[in-house]
Amino acid sequence: MDIEERLRWTRRWLWIVLIGLFLSGATAFPLEIEVRWLLRALDPLSGQLPALVGWIERVHTGLVTAGEDYPFLLYGTDWLAFAHLVLAVAFWGPLRDPVRNVWVVQVGMIACVGIVPLAVICGPIRDIPWFWTLIDLSFAVGAFPPLWFAYRHIRAIEASAGTAPAIPERVSSASWSGGGEQYPGGACGAAPYLGR
């Protein structure tokens, strides 16, 4: 597979993650409305899925009570939403230049792995039912593979382009007309820009 094809695949995988983060963030703002809609949709299944419907009802009651009596608690979910949107913006870097910004993909994979202990440890502490913990874990399962595939393509691009990361040596300002100290390969000494 040539570099251009790998770049296309890298960007496809990264778009999946970026869109997922954006949707997660955007839908974390109107939680009470969304949970109300979900409760209405699941109500006909209350006989078949009593634990799930009971849990959704409890969550809805908690959101309504918090919104009416303790609205500052919902400020925490506003920050959660904002964090997802910021992370989505961060993935714009690897979309533009995957080799230079591979660290964003690495951080994303680390975050996916971190979801597992967070859900497994904090879920029971916060009285989250086991089936909902599985839903939380599905975010790691859903996001890690596209990040991993993108990462593999980025490393292959890096190897074939001969742009393996290294700590560049500083060059004195006399060697550069722009003044100040520079790195070989540009002001930041990073791999050549591979974006469009």
Residue 97 carries which DSSP code? -
Percent of the chain at pLDDT > 70 equals: 83
How far, CA to CA in Å, does 149 sit from each of 6, 42, 132, 176? 10, 36, 27, 39
Residue 172 carries which DSSP code? -
Q: Tokens for 109?
A: 């994979």
What pLDDT is stored for residue 1 in this prediction? 82
Task: Give 65-81 pLDDT, tens digit per residue.
Answer: 999 999 999 999 999 99
Query: In sequence order, which residues have a C-beta less than 8 Å from that of residue 168 and are 6 or more positions away?
Result: 183, 184, 185, 189
Q: Residue 183 phi/psi, 5° resolution?
A: -110, 150
pLDDT confidence of 167, banded at 50, 70, 90? Answer: very low
What pLDDT is stored for residue 191 in this prediction? 47
What pLDDT is stored for residue 196 in this prediction? 47
Q: Quick one: which H or E segment has residue 127?
A: none
What pLDDT is stored for residue 187 in this prediction? 39
The region that residue 148 occupies, defined by phi over 0 for left and psi between -120 and 50 for alpha, beta otherwise, is alpha
What pLDDT is stored for residue 101 in this prediction? 97
Q: Quick one: which H or E segment has residue 142?
A: helix 130-161
| This prediction's pTM | 0.77
- What does the pLDDT average to over 29-39? 95
